[in-house]
Chain A
């Protein structure tokens, strides 16, 4: 990749802008890695997730928050994780709460969603004010769009709530969050970031991996657990077993 950076520098790009370009390159490249992680989680392990969109958005929200909250554009892993989790949890709690409150009234879909989003936005705003009050420079650098993306996730919560029940929504949200956290950990690894910069050919591995998962017909991990009774079923009648002599 160094060649490309050099060409860009020669074309008159300054060093600060180049850093931004590198960050953009990293994030965009990581999308395919995150989606691969999600597909492994779904088809090999058996995690449920709120579409593919929610875990991706959440993962990159973690990443952006962690990246922008640092002092000198360095990824601060724990900040990203903690604040990301707080916003996700807040979004979940307020979406379900407002949705439950509105359930008794017959409202059209979008006004209902609008009310839910209003509730979530207000709560997130209060959180941001509080955080800035207690810790000055936090959140100032985080792009507003990241917060928007996280709040929009409410729609998915609401869609699941409308079709299924609260327990299902809770479990699918927790599993989505778990995937996001794992994906966030993986893309934050130093070794991963270096690989993306130094060996962009890993895209070929990702492509092959996805083809493999795409054709995978084996049981998922959670299905081994689900069907354990059948899987542990012994043969009904063994012929090689000799009858005990009777007295």
Chain B
């Protein structure tokens, strides 16, 4: 029942096909802009005129007669063949190089002869890949070289970034990463990865593989998908707003490829954006569109800023840069280094601003090489119950006796907690939280019955800000 009420409540967040068509496409996209978006050569021309970068056009083949006359040897060794009115990447073929026999090599290593390419061109001209099967035109353009930042994230192909723009405001974005399964194609239906992007900072957040399966790591690796910073993010947002202004596309998707040298290039405009971007972002489009509705956007900068402010989920990074401190949550994975520095262990620790100092579990401390001081203390056979004055006396004696023996021991502490009085050794300890490594002090004490084997107290947290809502 709770799920049903959630479903009912949240249905207003998500955009469905009916509303996309009836409300957003029909009311915001004039016939002229749809025509521009559907025709890749026309959109290229208009974008270029407005100084928005696009991949260089090499040739256009309009008819079978053109095809007969066309000299494929005049092409550079790498290029892309596309139908001008193609949809969903159908009929697109990318060639990387040419072998000795003059055949062209695709990303997956298969080869295409001249007859193969001509066959593809005939299919395109016949309209096999165009929207309503009408006859089409072949577009040959330069191949975009994948940006270096994506090197480990993609399999062979080039990832593409899509930005949905509505009312000149960037609404939502995702990046499609080609995988081994999708055979180097950035197509979700074929098994590619779609990763949602945080609008404010341009970092990937949530991701799906294939049509709807949530995924955390690039398949076959331990590389986390979320947190990938999209290069030239601000430029991408700027160009997408500019493109929507130049073409008059009120509601549409702008697709980018990011070239190693040239930066983001617009490869395609889409007047009927798909809805699966919502699954990649694990968030609905509808509430965002409603929020962006009716705002008067006068300049490109204003549109970009609105998109970032309204739909950027995490402002974390900005706070981190302002304060110079890292933002952490109330539980964090902490890396602990052993005394000799050869061994390390990652554990989930509680960040506890109520505690003065950090403390770790006895067993954990043993593994990190603090065993001898623990044994020494056990050998002293300290009785369980004592009052404060007695404790102070014992502390002084132990301090004097043990400190010279162990150089990592800072002192013996008398701690009063809900467990009663206890004497704990305090030692130097190297830890790392959120990629920041430093040395601090930690009490050793038996936490075996407690949820967390380590709590990090105030004295170890000078370099951090704590956000309790962060997971």
Residues of chain A at the chain B interface (Cβ within 8 Å): 43, 46, 106, 109, 159, 162-163, 215-220, 223-224, 226-234, 236-237, 246-247
Contact = CB atoms under 8 A, between A and B. Distances in A.
B22 A229 contact: no
B214 A229 contact: yes
Given A229-B214, A233-B282, A223 B10 contact: no
Interface in B246-269: none
B18 A162 contact: no
Most chain A CB atoms below 10 A, which of B16, B133, B278, B283: B16
Nearest to B418: A247
Contacts of B212: 226, 229
A246 B7 CA distance: 34
12 contacts: A109-B126, A217-B22, A218-B19, A219-B11, A230-B14, A231-B6, A231-B7, A232-B3, A232-B6, A233-B283, A246-B352, A246-B354
B62 interface: no
Contacts of A43: 18
Given A227-B284, A236-B469, A237-B469, A218 B10 contact: no
A218 B354 CA distance: 49
B23 interface: yes
A156 to B, nearest CB: 13
B279 A217 contact: no
Interface string B108-147: 0000000000010000001010000100000000000000
B21 to A, nearest CB: 9
Nearest to A236: B469
Contacts of B14: 219, 223, 227, 230-231
Nearest to A168: B189
B16 A220 contact: yes
B348 interface: no
A157 B325 CA distance: 62
Nearest to B469: A237
B388 interface: no
A232 B19 contact: no
Contact of B10 (A109, A162, A230): A230
Contacts of A247: 418
Interface residues on B, range: 20 to 34
A217 B18 contact: yes
B64 interface: no
Interface in B433-470: 469
B17 interface: yes
A233 B128 contact: no
Contact of A234 (B6, B16, B23, B279): B6
A162 B11 contact: no
A214 to B, nearest CB: 8
Contacts of A246: 352, 354
Contacts of B352: 246
Nearest to B16: A219
A247 B13 CA distance: 40
B418 A218 contact: no
A100 B90 CA distance: 20
Interface string B270-305: 000000001100111000000000000000000000
A237 B19 CA distance: 29
Contacts of B90: 163
Interface string B16-36: 111100110000000000000
Contacts of A163: 90, 128, 133
A45 B360 CA distance: 57
A234 B19 CA distance: 24
A158 to B, nearest CB: 12
Contacts of B7: 224, 228, 231-232
Nearest to A108: B126
Given A231-B6, A234-B6, A224 B22 contact: no
Given A226-B279, A227-B279, 6 more contacts: A43-B18, A163-B133, A216-B18, A219-B18, A231-B7, A232-B3
A246 B468 CA distance: 15
A223 B282 contact: no
Interface string B27-55: 00000000000000000000000000000
A230 B6 CA distance: 10
A215 B18 CA distance: 9
B418 A217 contact: no
B174 to A, nearest CB: 14
Nearest to A44: B18
B249 to A, nearest CB: 21
With most chain B CB atoms within 10 A of its CB, the pick from A46, A219, A233, A247 is A219
Nearest to A159: B133
A33 B18 CA distance: 21
A173 to B, nearest CB: 19
Given A43-B18, A215-B22, A220-B16, A230 B283 contact: yes
A170 to B, nearest CB: 16
B67 to A, nearest CB: 14
A226 to B, nearest CB: 7
A164 B145 CA distance: 29
A233 to B, nearest CB: 7
Contacts of B17: 46, 220, 223
Interface string B390-406: 00000000000000000
B128 A162 contact: yes
A232 to B, nearest CB: 6
B13 A230 contact: yes
A227 B6 contact: no
A191 to B, nearest CB: 30
B471 to A, nearest CB: 9
Contacts of A233: 6, 10, 282-283
A43 B17 CA distance: 9
Contacts of B214: 229
B3 A218 contact: no
Nearest to A46: B17
Closest 9 pairs (CB-CB, A-B): A219-B16, A217-B19, A237-B469, A231-B10, A223-B16, A231-B7, A227-B14, A217-B18, A217-B22
A227 B18 contact: no
Given A163-B128, A219-B14, A223-B14, A230 B3 contact: no
Contact of A218 (B18, B119, B278, B284): B18
A218 B19 CA distance: 7
Contact of B282 (A226, A229, A237): A229
A162 B130 CA distance: 12
B215 to A, nearest CB: 12
